[in-house]
Amino acid sequence: MSRDWGSLFDVDTDPEDLLEHFDTEWFRGQRYRHLSDERHGIERGTAVVGDTVVRGYPSMPRALVLEPAIRKTFDGPVAIEEKLNGYNVRVARIDGDLLAFTRSGFVCPYTTRKVEALLDADAFFDDHPEQMLCGELVGPENPYTDHDYSEVEGVGFYVFGIRHRESGTPMGVERRLDQCATYGLDSVDHYGTYTPGAAVDAARERIDDLNARGREGVVLKSTDGETALKYTTSAIHRADLEHAFELPFDYGRDFVFTRVIREAFQAVERDASPESVSERAQELGEAILEPAVETIRAVDAGEPVGETHTVRGDPQVLDDLLSYFREQGLELHVERDDTDGDQGVVTFTKIAQSTRDKTRYYLEGGTLDE
Ligand code: ATP
Ligand code: MG
């Protein structure tokens, strides 16, 4: 490393102490480091490749009740954007190569290849070598979070932020949208910029529409891109709960509790009539019980349980992806391994070991001390 480690980050801390918290990984024969937990104000997911720093994408607060949260968070114009449900990817060009970093700062072999194929980002990085593109990788052919979007066939990448890779400073919202248009980069939908007062109704209207279409929610941002607030639909709370109860012993209790609480506050703010609360309650109950019942039946029938994903691409890259997951300690079950022209198509399940083992134990008469 040619630059002194301590000078990479402009923070007042012992460089050795900071370095200690980074994990070392390899990508295409090159060593890099990444930070799995926030430290000294340096975001989780920050990576260092050679002597290039790629800052993590910051965590953003969530509103449970829109109206007061918007009032408290913003004192100037508020941009409203769609919140897409996929996984967070930062793309940077380092020594001529595009690299795609996941939220926790790993360079993912599959994502890097997909982004190379999806993005025509040369012109952007020629003009802005110090910037990184922050976006959501969405679509059904997705090894992490697959959510169907009617406009996305395999996978798509939608930019929601452009930041200086080393300082993390965001570009303002208007300029970012402009840059996306100039360089032909897909952007998340932008619904307009409002005064904080007007943003409440605008966000509610968008939420109702997104909810009806089974989409995730909105992100509200100050126009300089520094302050952000997220708020999600009932549809996604239910989808999250279905997913969690499909693998009841692998998802933490916190995960479940937070979704139920989101629904409770949303009901208080939005459901004027007792009927709408009971409709919400009915749907919530179904989202919880039905998937759990199905999973218990599946384990009883000896079927693999876990998160199933399909990915498509260069067979070598798909092999690399599966090895990368196995190295991270995941047990995989491959259901399909085909080719489609010169592309591989692989369907695999990340086995949910706790759910499988505990469910089996109870089915065989295991008891609980409770
Ligand atoms: P946290 O914000 O605490 O890290 P998390 O990792 O669980 O939470 P989410 O609840 O999905 O993430 O919310 C934040 C994420 O939403 C961002 O990291 C980003 O990946 C995603 N996202 C989708 N659309 C947008 C958007 N328009 N603007 C910003 N982020 C977006
Ligand atoms: Mg998300």
Write out the DSSP string of 91-111. EEEETTEEEEE-TTS-B-HHH
CA of 84 to the centre of ligand 2 (A): 7
Comparing 17 with 365, the larger pLDDT belongs to 365
Q: State if pTM tops 0.85.
A: yes
Of 55, 219, 222, 223, the residue with max ligand 1 atoms within 8 A of its CB, to mutate for a pocket test, comes to 219
Instruction: Name which of 9-18, 67-76, 185-194 the model is least confident about.
Output: 9-18
Ligand 1 pocket check for 80: Cβ under 6 Å = no
Of 215, 220, 230, the residue with max ligand 1 atoms within 8 A of its CB, to mutate for a pocket test, comes to 230
Q: Which ligand is nearest to the CA of 57?
A: 1
Closest among 245, 249, 247, 271 to 65, alpha carbons compared? 271
**pLDDT, position 177:** 98
User: What is the helix (H) or strand (E) element at residue 19, kind and residue range?
Assistant: helix 15-20
Give per-residue pLDDT as tens, 178-224. Answer: 999 999 999 999 999 999 999 999 999 999 999 999 999 999 999 99
pLDDT of 95 > 80? The answer is yes
Ligand 1 pocket check for 84: Cβ under 6 Å = yes
Which amino acid residue places its CA nearest to atom 31 of ligand 1?
Answer: 83
Give percent of the chain above pLDDT 90.
92
**pLDDT, position 4:** 66
State the first-to-last Cα distance of the chain, in angstroms, to the nearest integer: 55
Instruction: Look up residue 342 and give its DSSP letter.
Output: T
CB–CB of 219/176 below 8 Å? no
How far, rounded to the nearest angstrom, does the alpha carbon of residue 90 sit from its chain's CA centroid? 11
Comparing 39 with 4, the larger pLDDT belongs to 39
Which amino acid residue places its CA nearest to atom 7 of ligand 1?
Answer: 59
pLDDT of 133 > 70? The answer is yes
Close Cβ partners of 255 (under 8 Å, ≥ 6 residues apart) = 240, 244
Q: Residue 364: phi, psi to the nearest 5?
A: -90, 10
**pLDDT, position 5:** 67
**pLDDT, position 123:** 97
The arithmetic mean of pLDDT across residues 312-319, rounded, is 96
CA of 357 to the centre of ligand 1 (A): 32
- pLDDT confidence tier of residue 77, bands split at 50, 70 and 90: very high
DSSP-derived secondary structure for 209-275: HHHHTT--EEEEEETTS--EEEEE-HHHHHHHHHHHHHSTTTS-HHHHHHHHHHHHHHHHHH--SHH
The arithmetic mean of pLDDT across residues 313-317, rounded, is 95
CA of 60 to the centre of ligand 1 (A): 7
Q: Which ligand is nearest to the CA of 83?
A: 1
The CB-based long-range contact list for 2-5 (8 Å cut-off, 24+ gap) reads: 2/50, 2/51, 3/51
- pLDDT confidence tier of residue 17, bands split at 50, 70 and 90: confident
**pLDDT, position 13:** 77
Instruction: Name which of 14-28, 273-287, 319-333 the model is least confident about.
Output: 14-28
Closest among 23, 29, 28, 17 to 48, alpha carbons compared? 23
Ligand 1 pocket check for 60: Cβ under 6 Å = yes
Q: What is the mean pLDDT of the chain?
A: 95
Ligand 1 pocket check for 255: Cβ under 6 Å = no
pLDDT of 1 > 60? The answer is no
